[in-house]
């Protein structure tokens, strides 16, 4: 994450970072895949920069083919 990012990002800011639409980010927040907080009564959401970084790292881990292979080989050895 660039050091010049503010602590809290709008959904539009997150969408820019991830290169997706604001609707996609809203869906991620609503499902809980990406942690965010709702501010005020008008449904404005903010995502903390560290939460965005955590989400990105989880996505890397989820899509890392070597992580699945390591997990499988551990399971086989422990039997």
Sign of the alpha-carbon torsion through 3, 9, 15, 16: negative
Spell out the alpha helix ranges (H) of 1-79: 11-18, 22-31, 49-63, 65-78
Q: Which structure tokens are listed for 46?
A: 């903010």
pTM for the predicted model, two decimal places: 0.75
Q: How confident is the model at residue 2 (pLDDT cuts 50, 70, 90)?
A: low
Share of the chain above pLDDT 70, in %: 80
pLDDT of residue 5: 72
56, burial (CB in 10 Å: exposed 0-12, middle 13-18, buried 19+): middle
pLDDT at 53 over 70: yes
């Amino acid at each position: 994450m660039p050091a010049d990012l503010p602590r809290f990002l709008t959904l539009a800011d997150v969408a820019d970072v991830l290169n997706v639409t604001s609707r996609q980010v809203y869906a991620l927040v609503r499902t809980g895949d990406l942690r965010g907080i709702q501010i005020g009564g008008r449904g404005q959401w903010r995502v903390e920069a560290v939460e965005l970084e955590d989400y990105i790292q989880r996505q890397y881990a989820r899509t890392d083919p070597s992580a699945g292979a390591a997990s499988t080989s551990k399971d086989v050895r422990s039997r």
